[in-house]
Amino acid sequence: MAKSNEQSQKGVILEGKIECPYCLRSTLIQPAADYRPIYVNCTVCGKRFIAERIQSGIEALKVEDASCFSDPDRREIEMGMGDEE
């Protein structure tokens, strides 16, 4: 009866709730498997913000407040060569 449930995929992240920095309502996001910041579209106000995984959870940033390391687009440019993991 031992059905092999290989659920041990690395970096499985469940959906999480996060507070939208614009309308302050919680919205559901699916964080990236690694600590990469991602863009999230708020399901309440429709604005786009950045969700970044931190050690204690997930942090929401307004796009205009994000540093270049938290902005998924700019980060790729800035980090293009030296990805430190």
Q: Point out which residues bind Zn ion (CB under 5 A).
A: 20, 22-23, 42, 44-45
Q: Kindly report the length of the chain.
A: 85
- Is the Cβ of residue 33 or residue 44 nearer to Zn ion in the bound state? 44
Rounded to a whole number of angstroms, the minimum distance from the CB of residue 45 to Zn ion is 3
Give the residue with the Cβ less far from Zn ion, 43 or 67. Answer: 43
Closer to Zn ion by Cβ: residue 26 or 70: 26
71 alpha carbon, distance to own chain's centre: 10
Report the alpha-carbon distance of residue 26 to residue 12 in Å, rounded: 22
Closest approach of Cβ 7 to Zn ion, in Å? 33
Distances 79 to 59, 69, 75 between C-alpha atoms, Å: 20, 8, 6
